[in-house]
Amino acid sequence: MQDKNNTLYFKVQMDQEVEVKEVLRVVHEALSKKGYNPVNQIVGYIMSGDPSYITSYNNARSLIMKVERDELVEEVLGEYIKYNGWDR
């Protein structure tokens, strides 16, 4: 029988920090495979916050919901600025 006077400790393992680039890659791939326009769908999600813009295929919907929408915008804009050489 277990002693109810002692406190039991257990460790809860947190999810590893989700890489925004990897989330966007997986979501883009899932949307493409399902025949959607990934740019339109991701923009729709960012603008509205409605997860139904993202397919549940390959766990894309639950994955993108782990990232804040402003982080998605920041990542995309940062890459666009780098791509165009405006960060010099």
Q: Which string of DSSP letters, residue by residue, matches 30-62?
A: HHHHTT--HHHHHHHHHHH--GGGS--GGGHHH
Q: What are phi and psi of 11, to 5 degrees?
A: -100, 130
Q: Decide if 2 is inside a domain.
A: no
Q: Decide if 77 is inside a domain.
A: yes
Q: Which amino acid is at 17?
A: E
Q: Please give the pLDDT value at position 14.
A: 44
Q: Decide if 10 is inside a domain.
A: no
Q: Which of 18, 28, 32 is nearest to 68 (CA)?
A: 18
For the cut 60, the answer to whether the pLDDT of residue 13 exceeds it is no
Q: Decide if 34 is inside a domain.
A: yes
pLDDT tens digits along 43-53: 999 999 999 99
Q: Please give the pLDDT value at position 68.
A: 95
